[in-house]
Amino acid sequence: MGEFELIKRYLTQAQETLPESVVLGVGDDAALLQPDCQQQLVVAVDTLVADVHFPAAAPAEDVGQRALRVNLSDLAAMGATPAWFTLALTLPDTWSANQRREWLQGFSIGLQAAAQLYGCVLVGGDTTAGPLSLTIQVMGQVPPGQALRRDGASVGDFILVTHTLGDGAAALAHLDQPDTSSYLYERFYRPTPRLGEGQLLRGLASAALDVSDGLLADLAHLCHASDVAAIVDVEQVPLSETLQAMPIEQSRQWALSGGDDYELVFTLAPERMETLARLQAQGQIQATVIGQICAGSGVHCELDGQEYSPARNGYQHFS
């Protein structure tokens, strides 16, 4: 089976099952999309390289799930609603035709499951031979002027984070002997893009981003963009039960400096806290205050009223 047959077989949806916004999907020279004219288009792209972002031997279905979820997290962080995505795949030329077929089959099951769950449709891509890697470009929509940006935080705003932090890094530390049924494995390969939360925070949060490189590193980006500083109370950073049961220093380091959590960090003016509390009580969002924005620059941590220096500042490529 040739490359195009494989794609057609595993990655293409019948035209009649596609939403109206896809005039033409996979198969032509390019896709033809009909965006909602009342909305702004939100576009993000991310590459996952084998043995950098996931183990090359990882189950293909898990890789498919993770690849799309991680990309959708960027749309969540903008407050966008997902619509379409494209996929550039590089498959090893050292693989036999059988290996390629098996991998693509598993991968497409994971990818399409995530696509359906979050309402995002594959509309095109590219397939090449080389070291295993995949690039996904996601496209979504947001009402004009309502996207969540990094540059809106003001002095006095509270800093909040959704759900818990540190699970991604803890999972990564255990990936060489994974228990594929464990909570941490699930959190690594099926991170939840906080799309509902992001949409809810439109018009409410002053700034937001998703935690991919580590809380402190990502929060530093927000502070830089907003020209402010942040104080984080380390004790308030929410940890899962799994991380609470591990040595606290290690768990804290994972939560502060580890990456791969894909939770949202956002800032909220004090007068908006009441609205958030109401949404929280209704079960529409789960978020914890972890600190406050102040004048100055950089991110500062406190523990028991003392300055706290975490060991490492988050993941950076090329460092």
Residues that bind ligand ADP (CB under 6 A): 4, 7, 11, 26-29, 87, 89, 122, 124-127
Instruction: Quote the distance between the C-alpha of residue 124 and its chain's center.
Output: 21
Least distance between Mg ion and beta carbon 122 (Å): 14
CA of residue 9 relative to chain centroid, distance: 28
Label residues 3-41 b or e (16+ Cβ within 10 Å = b).
eeebbeebbbbeeeebeeebebbbeeeebebeeeeebbe
Residue 29 contacts which entry, ligand ADP, Mg ion, none (Cβ below 5-8 A, type-dependent): ligand ADP
Residue 103 C-beta: closest distance to ligand ADP, Å: 12
What single-letter amino acid sits at 25? G
If residue 103 lies in a helix (H) or strand (E), which one and from where to where? helix 97-118
**Nearer residue to ligand ADP within complex by CB, 103 or 254:** 103
Rounded CA separation 242/165 (Å): 11
Residue among 60 and 87 whose Cβ is closer to ligand ADP: 87
Nearer to ligand ADP among residue 36 and residue 126 (C-beta): 126
Q: Taking the CA atoms of 273, 275, 279 and 281 in sequence, report the sign of the dihedral they define.
A: positive
Q: How far is the CB of 10 from ligand ADP (least distance, A)?
A: 9
- SS3 state of residue 277: helix
User: Of these partners, Mg ion, ligand ADP, none, which one is at the site of residue 219 (CB under 5 to 8 Å by kind)?
Assistant: none
Minimum separation from the CB atom of position 126 to Mg ion (A): 4
Q: Closest approach of Cβ 4 to Mg ion, in Å? A: 10
CA distances from 257 to 66, 80, 261, 278 (A): 21, 26, 11, 31
Where on the chain is the footprint of Mg ion (CB under 5 A)? Answer: 126
Residue 124 or 314: the one with the smaller Cβ distance to ligand ADP is: 124
Which CB sits closer to Mg ion, 5 or 51? 5
Which does residue 28 touch among Mg ion, ligand ADP, none (CB within 5 to 8 A, set by kind)?
ligand ADP
